[in-house]
């Protein structure tokens, strides 16, 4: 599962755990997400850890479908996540709101360090960032995919992308209530929920 944080962070730290803590705090503050009992990591890259490694979405890692919190599939698996486009945008935050915001990624479209990682140039340089409404280069708004490169100081606050670990058991749809509604996972049907997803 993936979402955009409603809270913001700078991209000035070179320590990936800083960003993992930020997205984990956002997820665990929501009882339905906390109940999943999974680890939450940032889809982001520092000079020493890239997004593929941090999210365990390398081709050598177990690959499962990846869904946004609204129940729409974002990617069929690891390779699909890093092919430059998404099936559906990551456009829902942990509160259940659809947003179109700028998101720090520090990540090249293939999930590695493309020379714009978090904290490069002392956090004062340009940092690669995506927009949560993008699905990729094909939408005409970015030539670098959903992790599009936009120049801005890393000291500026932006949202982050969050990704869960592989979820093998999902609570009943009725327990996934959020923001006065229910996650769209209920729409996917119980057989889809029984499959392993991220």
Task: Find which of 24-33, 104-113, 133-142 is predicted with most confidence, using mean pLDDT.
Answer: 24-33
Full-model pTM: 0.85
Whether pLDDT at 186 is above 70 = no
Residues 6 or more apart in contact with residue 1 via CB below 8 angstroms: 33, 36, 66, 67, 68, 69, 163, 164, 167, 197, 198
Segments making up each domain of the chain, as ranges = 2-194
Model confidence over 67-112: pLDDT tens digits? 999 999 999 999 999 998 899 999 999 999 999 888 999 988 899 9
Angstrom CA distances, 147 to 26, 38, 161, 163, 194, stand at 21, 24, 10, 14, 30
Reported CATH class of domain 2-194 = alpha beta
């Amino acid at each position: 599962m993936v979402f955009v944080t409603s809270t913001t962070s700078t991209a000035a730290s070179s320590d990936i755990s800083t960003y993992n803590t930020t997205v984990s705090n956002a997820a665990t503050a929501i009882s339905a997400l906390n109940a999943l009992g999974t680890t939450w990591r940032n889809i982001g890259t520092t000079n020493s850890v890239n997004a593929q490694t941090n999210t365990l979405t390398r081709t050598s890692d177990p690959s499962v479908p990846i869904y946004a919190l609204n129940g729409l599939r974002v990617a069929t698996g690891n390779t699909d996540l890093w092919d430059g486009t998404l099936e559906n945008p990551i456009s829902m935050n942990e509160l259940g709101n659809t947003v179109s915001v700028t998101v720090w990624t520090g990540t090249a479209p293939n999930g590695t360090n493309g020379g714009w990682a978090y904290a490069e140039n002392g956090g004062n340089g340009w940092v690669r960032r995506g927009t949560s409404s993008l699905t990729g280069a094909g939408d005409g708004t970015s030539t670098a995919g959903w992790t599009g490169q936009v120049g801005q100081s890393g000291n500026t606050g932006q949202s982050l992308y969050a990704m869960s670990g592989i979820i093998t058991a999902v609570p009943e749809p009725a327990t996934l209530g959020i923001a006065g509604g229910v996650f769209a996972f209920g729409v996917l049907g119980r057989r889809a929920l029984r499959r392993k997803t991220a």
